[in-house]
Every structure is written in C-alpha cells, then in structure tokens.
Amino acid sequence: MSDIIEDKTLIDWFKDNYEKITFINIEPEYERIGRSSRLKESIADLITDKKFFEQKEKLISIWKNLVANAIIFLKSKDDRECFHDDGDYGIEDLGEFFDRYCKFEKLLYGSGEYYRDHVSHVFKVFLLGEKLVRDHLDDFSSIDVMDHKLELCLFRWGEIPGDDNERLLRYLQNEYGIGWVKGAEISKSDDEKTICIKKDENSAKIMFDEIDIKATLELNDGVIYDLKVKIENDERKIIKSKLITAEEKEAMWCIASLTHDLGYPTEVVHKIHDQLKDMLSVFNIKDVSYILSQQSQSFNDFIIRLISSDLTLCGENGSLYYTTHTQAKYYFKYSRSIEKWDHGVESCVVLMKSLVYFLETDFSIDRRRSMKIDDAQQFLIRQRILRSIASHNCDFIYHLKLDLSFLLRIIDEMQEWGRPKLADLFMKTPETGFKIIKFEKDDIEYSITFRYLGGVEPEDIEEFHADVKEYFRRKINTYIMILRSAVDGKQREFVLTFNVVATVSKENTYKFIHKNPQEITCEIDGNSVELPELDENNWDKFYETYLKND
C-alpha cells in the first residue's frame, strides 16, 4: 500500500503521535528549564494547513527544544552519570547559530544552480524518517548502529567447570571486587542449574532459572546480583550487554536529521569565494582568501579521526575492555570531504564546537586509554550520530544495510517536495509530489512525481522533460555510486527502487531498480534496460537512447 506524503501529512502525523516519542516526554529528576512543556506547546501550535516554510519561526523554537530534549534523554540513560537535569550545555549557542543560519540562508539562494531551502527541509527529513520507521518498521530497534559489539560473553555455562573457569573467576574479581576467588574450587550441581565457588570460609553460587531465562549470583553475605543469560545454538552464555535501545536510537535520529545541514553555509560560501576569485582574476587580483587557523585545522583533524574510528574489543579470560582505532578508508574519505568543504563534515564540526555532549565523547587517543563497556556505549552513540551526518552527502561512503547513516541518506534523497529554488521565482515550475510504496528493512521503493497544472508553452514542455531526465540521471548515478561493489558487499540484502513520474501533456515514467551492482535495471516508458555496473557500452547506449537531451 502506497502513501502520498506532503507537509500536511507530516504535521498531522506529528501532532497525533509526538506523545509516543519518549525523548519528547522526558521528565528529568531536576528540571530547570522546562523544555518538554515548551516543546509540546510549540508542536500543538503548528498549523496543519500551512506549509513548513510558512511557519519558520515556530520551527526554530521546536528545533532547539527537540535537539535539546534528545540530548537530555541520551544523557539520562548514561549509567555513569547521576543528578540528571534538563541542562543541555551548548544548545543555546547552537540555537543562536541556527537562528543566524536561517537569516543567512536568504543570501544563499542563487549561490548554486541547485541550492534549495534547508531550514524546513531538516524538519521534513526528521518527520519523514519518524513516520516511515514507526509506521512500517514499528520502531527504531531494527536500525543498525553497530551495537552488537556491546554484548560480551563472560563465560559459557557448559564450560564450567572446565575451559571457562578462569573467565568466571576473573569476572567475579573484576566486576564485583571479590578478591578471595583466586584459586577457588568450582563445582556444579547434579542438575547443572547451580555453579558453586568456594574457598576456605567464603562461598558464592550462581543459579540458573530455566523459566525466566536468567541467572542469579548470591554471595555468602546474602548480597544478590542478577545476571543476563543468552541462549545461542542451545548453549547458555552469561553475558554483559549494553545494547542501544530503540528509544535511544530515535533520539540519535532526531539529532542527526535536524542538524545534518548545519554546515551548508560554509560549503556554499566557499563556492561563492571560488567564483569571486575567478571573476576578479580578470583584474589580476588573486589574493582574495580566508584561511583556517592552525588550531582549527588540528581540531578538525581530531573530529575526522573520531568519526573514522571504531570499537575494538581487547583482553581475554574475563578481563575484557575496549579501545578505539582509526579505520583508514573512512579517515581518507572524510579528509577528502573536508578538503571540499562538504557540508556533512562541516555540520559535525559545528556540533563538536557547540555542544558539550559531543565534547565529552570517550575516545582512545592512544592504545593506553582503554574503555569499559559503559564508556564504549557512549562513544558509539555519539560517533554514530556524527558518522551518519558526515556520510549523508559523501558519495565516497558506500552502504550495506539500513543503519543510521543510510537511513539519513535515503530519507534526505527522498525529501524533494516543497523546496523552492531561486529559479522558481522567475519561471513556472512543476508541482512535486512524493509517494512511499514500500519501506522495509530489506526493500525500499518510492516515487517522485512532477506535473504542471494549467497551460504550458511548448518550449516549457521541452525544458521540463530535459530537467526530469537530468534529475533522474543524477539520482541513479548517486545510487549506483553509494551502492557500488564493496568489501562485504554480499551482506547487502536490500533492494532499492526509485520511480519518477513526469506529467505534462502526457505521462512519462522512469524506474530504477538496484538489487546488487550486477543486477541494475532501468525502465523508461516501459522499455527495460539491464545495466551491469562495469559494462560501459551498455551505459553509453542507455544514455544515448533514453537520457540524452536534444
């Protein structure tokens, strides 16, 4: 079943569903600012029959409080912290930046051929992602954030007594400070439901509950601890897990989607700067420039290293810990992006410099700095937010699954409607529509429609078809690039289908189906063409036949 989505659809959905979003309704232990109540009032004030760009003042207020609430919620789930309040530490600076961003954007129209509105756009991206994930996937639990690394096997029940004895004893010593366990005797009851640890007058036992699938550690002084159990391939494992919850992932989505374009002014101003240099070169003026300070370059390089890093699990026999290491290919790709003033990476720079939440990211600058599982979880939350933002406009990054990065990329590509360009002020432009046909973890299909209402001059019809062809060509080139052959490409199991329907005097249809780099199909007005990724002859023939503008 397909859904036609426009501004009214998203506003209606938001007003009907915002109370289901956990971070919007958070009530901190110590409330100083009262952001949740302000946020709910602002959401209620949204006018359904008005476009987003007609309500920008309301959006600015909602933007600040949404981002703040998402951060406050994530901090409240950090078990290392206490005395949780609604302080967001830096959101006012970021909010002031966003205010100025909104004012400055008026100057950016006309700075590039395809420059469009980005203020209301980020709200549409946020709400479109919310609606699609909640309506079609139930919640954000299936959005991958690589948190499988936050599940540790402490010891295997079937290997006690046996190969995992040392892992068990080290776990008890490191986790609970039980010093007497070194050299303790380990045994198991006849029914294999109880593990006994004993040394001299000291004892402890671990009991397995088959009904509730859990275990309990009981010390001889009466102290009791609950342990997590995982059964995998009929093997019982005692685990330690800090998986990121669906609610936390939703807050991560909020921050990533609402801030992913904050770096746009920097990117566009740099393009204007290049055009200015080119123009003034006629008069032999070549020294028009602005230079980033050495301090900023060093800090930016640190940000790139943070975004490019991943978790590594180290240690053995119950003494497990994490460090971070830099993934070279990500470091190279994001370094190229920042050279080009790419607004995705620039947005990360803005966040890191504005928000204390990101400045407090745990990170192993050298291998001597190890992290516990709680530290690793908080690193991963912050790093995945930043990486998704940095990747959303970076075609060097390929995608293998519906993780936070690809979710932001695909939703950003989908959001086309209601984004005026400078050219729209001077010529008649088509009405743009969006329809979601399928949104599953392994199968996504959507459609963009362009149509003219009323009479159209013949020369406008010709230009219209040329623009649609160019739009379709740009999109499929982007999708082929980011879904290209890659390491671990066999893990990519989703199908992406992209449709364009253009209507003026008659209907023209364009369809792109990507199953894998060797199964790419384009259908133009019913004519189907298979396009293997590496067959240049097929590509040339396809472009010449179907997408060449006369």
- Only one residue has tokens 């949404």, namely 66
CATH architecture of the domain formed by 151-241: 2-Layer Sandwich (3.30)
pLDDT score for 289: 55
Could you give the C-alpha distances from 507 to 76, 271, 301, 466, in angstroms and in order? 53, 37, 50, 14
Average per-residue pLDDT for the chain? 85
Spatial contact of 433 and 130, defined as CB atoms under 8 Å apart? no
pLDDT score for 539: 65
pLDDT score for 281: 58
Q: What is the DSSP letter of 244?
A: P
Can you tell me the distance from the alpha carbon of 122 to that of 421, in angstroms, rounded to the nearest whole number? 16
pLDDT score for 425: 40
For residue 184, report the phi and psi dihedrals to the nearest 5 degrees: -70, 155
pLDDT score for 274: 62
pTM of the model: 0.88
Kindly report, residue by residue over 25-43, the tens digit of the pLDDT: 888 766 767 788 889 999 9
pLDDT score for 422: 42
Can you tell me the distance from the alpha carbon of 401 to that of 491, in angstroms, rounded to the nearest whole number? 8
> Which amino acid belongs to residue 542?
F
Contacts of 525 (CB under 8 A, 6+ apart): 508, 509
In the chain, CATH 3.30.457 covers 151-241
Spatial contact of 352 and 385, defined as CB atoms under 8 Å apart? no
Regions of the chain with pLDDT less than 70: 1-2, 29-30, 32, 105-118, 268-295, 317-318, 367, 418-428, 454-455, 532-540, 543, 546-550
Structure-block tokens of residue 412: 């950003």
Three-state DSSP at 325 gives strand
Q: What is the DSSP letter of 543?
A: I
pLDDT score for 535: 60
Spatial contact of 250 and 22, defined as CB atoms under 8 Å apart? yes
pLDDT score for 390: 97
Kindly report, residue by residue over 277-305, the tens digit of the pLDDT: 555 555 555 555 555 554 577 888 999 99
Sheet strands (E) in 80-223:
151-156, 185-188, 194-199, 202-209, 214-219
